[in-house]
Structure 1
Amino acid sequence: MQIQQLDTTDPAARRAWHAVMEHAVRSDRPHALLTTYDAFEVVATSPRTYFERTWLQAVEGSEVVGVAELELPLEENRDVGWCEVDVLPEHRRRGIGRGLWDAVVERARQAGRTRLGGEVSVDLSVAGAGFAFATAVGAAEKHREDHLLADLPVAAGQVDPAYDVLTWRGRCPDEHREAYLAMRNQMNADVPTGELDLEVEVLDDARLAASEERLMKAYDVRVAAARRRSDGVLGGYSLLFVPHGTRYGWQDDTLVMPEHRGHRLGAALKCANYAGLPGDVTEVHTWTAPANTAMHRTNTALGFRVVEHMYEVEAVIA
């Protein structure tokens, strides 16, 4: 077996890497929400500004039997690396995952990182190998979220009469960017991280624009924002991604600013995004920390159900 770095200039090699990742993950996670090939292509072939990424593969003969990804933040959290290791089910328990892990650790150390983090998701009905592997390499659980799934359509949400809802797709309009940035940064500061010790990611306009441009290449990006009628102030937003060519949505952030809470804006914003989806989008995924009881209540009322537990784990590699 050889551990090789993916040649990101080779389209066939990129396609093979993604196919192995997809097969490995779906073998024990039927509800997995994966990076689509289109999204992988965008990341693998785009210049790196805020993150450095390396893709590795374990090769036997001419067959790719396992893959790994290492992401290194270049702004905040420069002591941390994020990684994922996936091995085809028929090749597990032969040291392939450990070989990929060791290669990831070596590269992370060379980049000055002292910690490696990652996400391990476990289906409620299928016992997967991911958590046992993470434990075996010395990673400890630091945070947990529930992966929830809802079938569309959902019941329409009522908007508080004191607010109206704005929607846009793709890039945030110029007239709302300052308020949108403030809300995005509030979300980054508020998001639960459990025992993870992380610096808060701070967005400025250039960083937001770079993210929007990259995401729009692979996703239909939809935002709903609540605007108070009395003064025009934006009080919350909900962000939804629909990967091109798929039948599902990925519910990302939903935030209501502190002074605007108590008006059921979170549910109204989610419903506004869902109502605008084409009819062939039939389900939506989201993640919520168990301790976030308010959002869990909102999600349950909309018809979301828990299908996986997601664990954020971390290993000290210094």
Structure 2
Amino acid sequence: MSFEIACIDPFDDSAVDAWWEAYAAARRVGMGDDAVVWSREESRTELQQPSATTRKTAFVALENGAVVGSGALTLSLTDNTHVAGIGVNVPSEHRRRGVGSALLARIEQEAAGEGRTTMRADIFWPASAPADGAGEPGREFAARHGYEVALGDVQNRLDLPVSDEMIGRLLTTAPAAGYEIRSWSGRVPEEFVADWAALDAILDTEAPTGALDIETASGDVAAFRDDEDLIVRQGRTSYGTVALDRDGRVAAYTQIVVSIDDGNGYQWGTLVRREDRGRRLGLRVKLENLRLLQRLSPGTTRVYTFNAESNEHMLAVNTQLGFHATARVAELQKRLV
């Protein structure tokens, strides 16, 4: 069966709405309340955001003028310029008809035309399903099209509030002697932003990477501020905590971002500098940030986080905080050459 694959205008509200509805419907299949879906307005804002570092293009599959699937191509313009981020989402009622294959072929063609040689995509399945995703539609589709699992992750959820008593008890196990702890909401203060951006840039390569074909990002402050601008435009609120060494340099950082639409908190980066590891600073900054979040955003009842299955240390920290697994995530990869 033949489908029309078209790019959409990010400023055409009806086109973005139809694209997003197909994306959201596909992502929610089998995931229930634990489907992690960017909201309609968050997605619209991302597509419209001018950026010198990232370009995202949205695609739809059309049948008789109706949207039956959605996709996206995300390209970094400054780092990892050999990589293309691929998204293909088909609602359950339109699956097994060639919609996803048609979308994927077009998006891969566009990526290759931009000189990208490594395709990356993420798929989700419930924690109750087999750990390797056997039998799950996304996993089977990916395998048929040559995508292999480069890294397996776990999606975990923390139900809030966590009692002050529990936080206090855990804090005693992470005293952070010799470090100063600073926390805030909103943009990273100017005095910390260069160190924060530098740590944030190496997060993807300092954490377990499995077989992922990625390079360390540049840590450019202007690019980081652009990302913060997007957070603000999306109506999200960022909560950050750092541990400072005696010279005032950032030794560890963590960040939770709260969506104005679903009210959930999303744990973004947490990283400790190599020379400061082994002092439980990761636990300390996460506890302090959680305490800040609960004080300033009492309506937030859930926090989601994603960690590599091989990252035993961070998974142990999350278990101490009370996180539990709700889904598995496969970071997929395919090399075109």
Aligned to 2:233: 217
Partner amino acid, structure 1, of 2:72: E
Contact 1:28–1:128 (8 Å) recurs in 2: no
Q: Deviations over 1:199-234 (max 9, x none)?
A: 111112211111111122222111111124x54443
Aligned to 2:30: 28
Moved over 6 A (4+): none
1:300 aligns with 2:319: yes
Q: Deviations over 1:80-105 (max 9, x none)?
A: 21111011101110011111111111
Once residues 50 and 233 of structure 1 are traced to their aligned partners in structure 2, the CA distance between those partners, rounded to angstroms, is 26
TM-score (structure 1 length as normaliser): 0.94
Once residues 224 and 75 of structure 2 are traced to their aligned partners in structure 1, the CA distance between those partners, rounded to angstroms, is 19
Cα offset for 1:287?
A: 1.0
Once residues 266 and 161 of structure 1 are traced to their aligned partners in structure 2, the CA distance between those partners, rounded to angstroms, is 10
Contact 2:153–2:309 (8 Å) recurs in 1: yes
Contact 2:54–2:74 (8 Å) recurs in 1: yes
Partner amino acid, structure 1, of 2:221: D
Once residues 114 and 161 of structure 1 are traced to their aligned partners in structure 2, the CA distance between those partners, rounded to angstroms, is 44
Q: Deviations over 1:10-47 (max 9, x none)?
A: 11111121111101110222222122222212111122
Partner amino acid, structure 2, of 1:98: S
Contact 1:86–1:97 (8 Å) recurs in 2: yes
Q: Deviations over 1:37-75 (max 9, x none)?
A: 222121111223112221111112232110000112211
Contact 2:10–2:44 (8 Å) recurs in 1: no
Q: Give the counterpart of 1:160 among 154, 163, 175.
A: 175
Aligned to 2:132: none
Give the secondary structure class of the aligned counterpart of 2:317: helix
CA-based RMSD: 1.8
Once residues 41 and 4 of structure 2 are traced to their aligned partners in structure 1, the CA distance between those partners, rounded to angstroms, is 27
Cα offset for 1:174?
A: 1.5
Contact 1:29–1:128 (8 Å) recurs in 2: no
Q: Deviations over 1:237-261 (max 9, x none)?
A: 1011111132211101111222323
Once residues 329 and 159 of structure 2 are traced to their aligned partners in structure 1, the CA distance between those partners, rounded to angstroms, is 20
Contact 2:207–2:311 (8 Å) recurs in 1: no
Give the secondary structure class of the aligned counterpart of 2:107: helix
- Output aligned runs, 1:82-121, within 5 Å: 82-121=85-124
1:66 aligns with 2:81: no
Contact 1:167–1:273 (8 Å) recurs in 2: yes
Contact 2:202–2:216 (8 Å) recurs in 1: no
Aligned to 2:57: 54
TM-score (structure 2 length as normaliser): 0.89
- Output aligned runs, 1:1-318, within 5 Å: 1-30=3-32, 31-125=34-128, 128-154=136-162, 155-156=166-167, 157-158=170-171, 160=175, 162=177, 163-218=179-234, 219-228=236-245, 230-277=246-293, 278-318=297-337
Once residues 23 and 217 of structure 2 are traced to their aligned partners in structure 1, the CA distance between those partners, rounded to angstroms, is 28
Partner amino acid, structure 2, of 1:144: G
Once residues 303 and 171 of structure 1 are traced to their aligned partners in structure 2, the CA distance between those partners, rounded to angstroms, is 27
Once residues 48 and 227 of structure 1 are traced to their aligned partners in structure 2, the CA distance between those partners, rounded to angstroms, is 31
Which residues of structure 1 form unaligned runs of 5+? none
Give the secondary structure class of the aligned counterpart of 2:188: coil
Once residues 9 and 291 of structure 1 are traced to their aligned partners in structure 2, the CA distance between those partners, rounded to angstroms, is 41
Once residues 115 and 235 of structure 1 are traced to their aligned partners in structure 2, the CA distance between those partners, rounded to angstroms, is 33
Contact 2:75–2:81 (8 Å) recurs in 1: yes
After superposition, the Cα gap between the structure-2 partners of 1:70 and 1:231, relative to the gap in structure 1 and judged at 3 Å, is closer
Cα offset for 1:161?
A: 5.5
Once residues 112 and 20 of structure 2 are traced to their aligned partners in structure 1, the CA distance between those partners, rounded to angstroms, is 25
Contact 1:246–1:281 (8 Å) recurs in 2: no
Once residues 255 and 78 of structure 1 are traced to their aligned partners in structure 2, the CA distance between those partners, rounded to angstroms, is 24
Give the secondary structure class of the aligned counterpart of 1:276: helix
Give the secondary structure class of the aligned counterpart of 2:203: helix
Which residues of structure 2 form unaligned runs of 5+? 130-134
**Sequence identity of aligned pairs in percent?**
29
Contact 1:117–1:315 (8 Å) recurs in 2: yes
After superposition, the Cα gap between the structure-2 partners of 1:161 and 1:65, relative to the gap in structure 1 and judged at 3 Å, is closer
Once residues 187 and 202 of structure 1 are traced to their aligned partners in structure 2, the CA distance between those partners, rounded to angstroms, is 11
After superposition, the Cα gap between the structure-2 partners of 1:99 and 1:235, relative to the gap in structure 1 and judged at 3 Å, is same
